[in-house]
Amino acid sequence: MNQRLSGVFICLLLLITSSLIGQNTLENVGLITTTKNPNAPEATEHWGKLVGNWDIIFESVDASGTVQQEFEGEWNWFYMLNGHAIQDVFILPPRNQASDPNSIFYGVGIRIFDEDSGKWQSVWVDTSNKILELREASSTDEKIILHQTNAKGEKLRISYFDIAKNSFEWKQEVFDEKTETWILTQLIHAKRRH
């Protein structure tokens, strides 16, 4: 296992351990912080703009661009690992709307900037697929774009855009090998919770 992949697994282990410790003590053990570490790369602020709690509308879209399903959810973001990395917790439906806590979809992403490559290294795991998905991303002040090949072998492009203080947009596209085009499959509209 290469060093970078080992680091991802360590981050995931920290995440699991942190959930066992409890939210109130995460800052005390140094896992979560409210600000970027001053020694972290400036690019950390590209994701840092998302730190906070968001109410979301998740839309599943067909090939024609028509919304097929719509769900409410919550998306919570914070700095971790002493302000060097960013973690998110994606939840559908919102916990306060779920009739059965076991039916809630949880997804967790952890990302850290690799200064040598100038790219973000990211890992995603969720309660549906139950596998680790590695992603690589590039970012600017205006947008963040992740690329990955999922467990089905599909090439995905995930974009965060129109990032403002109280809102942002997200989309997932799948690459169609036959037409050599990107096809929109999912959208998220996020509003900061106050």
pTM value > 0.95 = no
- Which segment of 29-38, 128-137, 183-192 scores lowest on mean pLDDT? 29-38
What pLDDT does residue 11 have? 53
What pLDDT does residue 132 have? 86
Phi-psi category of residue 171: left, alpha or beta, with phi > 0 → left and psi -120 to 50 → alpha: beta
Nearest to 186 by CA among 153, 160, 165, 152: 160
What pLDDT does residue 94 have? 87
What pLDDT does residue 130 have? 84
Mean pLDDT along residues 157-180:
96
pLDDT in tens, 86-140: 999 999 988 888 888 888 899 999 999 999 999 999 999 988 888 888 999 999 8
pLDDT in tens, 38-91: 999 999 999 999 999 999 999 999 988 899 999 999 999 999 998 999 999 999
What pLDDT does residue 1 have? 41
What residues have CB less than 8 Å from 114, skipping those under 6 apart? Answer: 4, 120, 121
Distance of CA 49 to the CA centre of its chain: 13
What pLDDT does residue 20 have? 47
Domains and CATH numbers, the chain: 3-192 (2.40.128.20)
